[in-house]
């Protein structure tokens, strides 16, 4: 794809000077769209979200390149922990407005854009009528977005980008029709593995479709007229490597670490069974499982039933800085991901990338996009998902092999530096944004 950077007036990273003040969103004649995007509206489910630091990093990297990014959050934030990086972006976020303001804005949109609004409603009814819950939530998400339509119009985005292929992409698609600007979306994991929110239509209508793994590209072909008929570009969820120092000294040689939401797809029940097997073999260890979620009570009961209370702790969710501290004093990251009974699975877990960046060797499983990050026997170990014995064997072998851990740590850092650096990945994303806006 040919770059257009040299065709425009100089600015930060080649981005042109700000365009004139935008017209109102309902104006008959629109001001010309600048060929390189300066104003991008990210549509997200909730901002901030403790589990979505990768979106924060991507947005910040675009801002650092001179792009004016605003965020439309479809929900009010509800989490007690806010990462400093996300807090720094809060003045760019539009949260849901009051019910009265939203109702008035929705009525105005229907009055000024009846054809676009009603046609899209017909599309949703046709595609989602068999799934009334998804239909109702989609309508609610659009309704919330309309509460901020005036602010969105004043911002005059040149591109709408949804961070997930479900409700955020539905809202971006609707706003694209109403505001007459292109939209794009990124798909990641549950939003394609267990959901189908009008995906065929989104692939056809979006100006750009992005996903985070090659595995996802192959999975998404089910919604295409033929394999490869619609281009889907792989841009990884990535890391700010400056925040993740590589550390190989001062580590506890017997400390295991696991991090993630306490949900079935993380495989923490498999981890506990493997740890019980290691205990029965006489292997010395202790394990910290950082995270919160609906499986906490079940997992704590399983820990007690297996006699692991003195060896395994569940301290709950932590700020990123505390998680990084645990990564730099542990010996192994063990994350035995599985495909959950409902089909949900990870794309590439961010904690595996973060661990490899800090020099913490990883053990995980051969599912989804994980083999695209971890090369078994080179930059970590991969075992079959759900295999308790194989997991226990891999942990025992690496606990007893300090030289192998050193080798995995070095290879892991090289891998994330090459393929998962947010400066590189955000630059690739911005090139796509520029190309479609120029077109």
Mind listing the pLDDT tens digit of every residue in the chain (439 residues)? Answer: 333 333 323 343 443 343 433 343 443 334 444 444 589 999 999 999 988 999 999 999 999 999 999 999 999 998 888 889 999 999 999 999 999 999 999 999 999 999 999 999 999 999 999 999 999 999 999 999 999 999 999 999 999 999 999 999 999 999 999 999 999 999 999 999 999 999 999 999 999 999 999 999 999 999 999 999 999 999 999 999 999 999 999 999 999 999 999 999 999 999 999 999 999 999 999 999 999 999 999 999 999 999 999 999 999 999 999 999 999 999 999 999 999 999 999 999 999 999 999 999 999 999 999 999 999 999 999 999 999 999 999 999 999 999 999 999 999 999 999 999 999 999 999 999 988 776 6
Per-residue pLDDT at 7 = 33
Q: What is the pTM of this model?
A: 0.87
Per-residue pLDDT at 50 = 86
How many angstroms separate the CA atoms of 304 and 309, rounded? 6
Per-residue pLDDT at 37 = 56
The CA-atom distances, in angstroms, between 132 and each of 137, 140, 166 are 9, 12, 15
Q: How many CA atoms lie within 13 A of 49 on its CB side?
A: 15
Task: Please choose, from the candidates 343, 348, 340, the residue with its C-alpha nearest in 3D space to the C-alpha of residue 262.
Answer: 340
Q: Tokens representing 411?
A: 């290879």
Q: Tokens representing 243?
A: 């925040």
Residues 6+ apart with CB under 8 A from 297: none
Q: Describe the crossing of helices 132-146 and 99-112 by its angle, rounded to 10 degrees.
A: 90
Radius of gyration of the chain (CA): 23
Task: Please choose, from the candidates 197, 192, 194, the residue with its C-alpha nearest in 3D space to the C-alpha of residue 172.
Answer: 197
Which domains, ranges and CATH numbers included, belong to the chain?
Answer: 5-238+421-438 (3.40.50.2000), 241-419 (3.40.50.2000)
Q: How many CA atoms lie within 13 A of 434 on its CB side?
A: 23
Per-residue pLDDT at 436 = 76
């Amino acid at each position: 794809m040919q770059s257009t950077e040299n065709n425009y007036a100089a600015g930060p990273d080649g981005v042109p000077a700000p365009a004139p003040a935008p017209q109102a969103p309902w104006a008959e004649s629109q001001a010309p769209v600048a060929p390189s995007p300066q104003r991008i509206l990210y549509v997200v489910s909730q901002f901030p979200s403790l589990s979505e630091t990768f979106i924060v990093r991507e947005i910040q990297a675009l801002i650092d390149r001179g792009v004016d990014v605003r965020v439309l959050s479809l929900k009010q934030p509800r989490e007690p922990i806010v990462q400093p990086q996300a807090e720094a972006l809060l003045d760019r976020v539009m949260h849901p407005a009051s019910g009265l303001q939203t109702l008035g804005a929705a009525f105005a949109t229907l009055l000024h854009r009846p054809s676009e609004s009603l046609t899209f409603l017909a599309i949703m009814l046709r595609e989602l009528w068999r799934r009334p819950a998804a239909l109702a939530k989609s309508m609610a998400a659009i309704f919330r977005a309309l509460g901020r339509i005036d602010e969105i119009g004043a911002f005059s985005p040149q591109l709408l980008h949804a961070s997930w292929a479900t409700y955020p992409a539905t809202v971006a698609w609707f706003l694209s029709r109403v505001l007459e600007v292109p939209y794009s979306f990124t798909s990641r994991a549950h939003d394609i593995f267990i959901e189908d929110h009008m995906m065929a239509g989104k692939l056809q209508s979006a100006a750009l479709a992005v996903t985070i793994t090659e595995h996802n590209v192959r999975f998404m072909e089910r919604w295409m007229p033929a394999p490869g008929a619609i281009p889907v570009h792989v841009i990884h969820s990535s890391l700010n490597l400056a925040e993740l120092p590589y550390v190989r000294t001062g580590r506890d040689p017997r400390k295991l670490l696991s991090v993630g939401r306490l949900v079935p797809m993380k495989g923490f029940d498999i981890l506990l069974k493997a740890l019980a097997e290691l205990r029965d073999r006489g292997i010395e260890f202790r394990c910290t499982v950082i995270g919160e979620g609906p499986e906490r009570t079940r997992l704590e009961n399983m820990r007690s039933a297996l006699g692991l209370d003195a060896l395994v702790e569940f301290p709950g969710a932590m700020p990123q800085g505390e998680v990084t501290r645990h990564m730099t004093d542990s010996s192994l990251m063990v994350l035995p991901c599985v495909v959950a009974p409902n089909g949900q699975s990870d794309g590439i877990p961010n904690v595996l990338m973060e661990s490899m960046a800090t020099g913490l060797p990883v053990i995980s499983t051969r599912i989804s996009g994980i083999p695209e990050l971890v090369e078994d026997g080179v930059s970590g170990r991969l075992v079959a998902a759900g295999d308790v014995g194989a997991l226990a064997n891999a942990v025992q072998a690496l606990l007893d092999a300090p030289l192998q851990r050193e080798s995995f740590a070095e290879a892991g850092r090289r891998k994330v530096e090459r393929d998962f650096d947010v400066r590189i990945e955000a630059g690739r994303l911005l090139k796509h944004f520029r190309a479609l806006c120029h077109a």
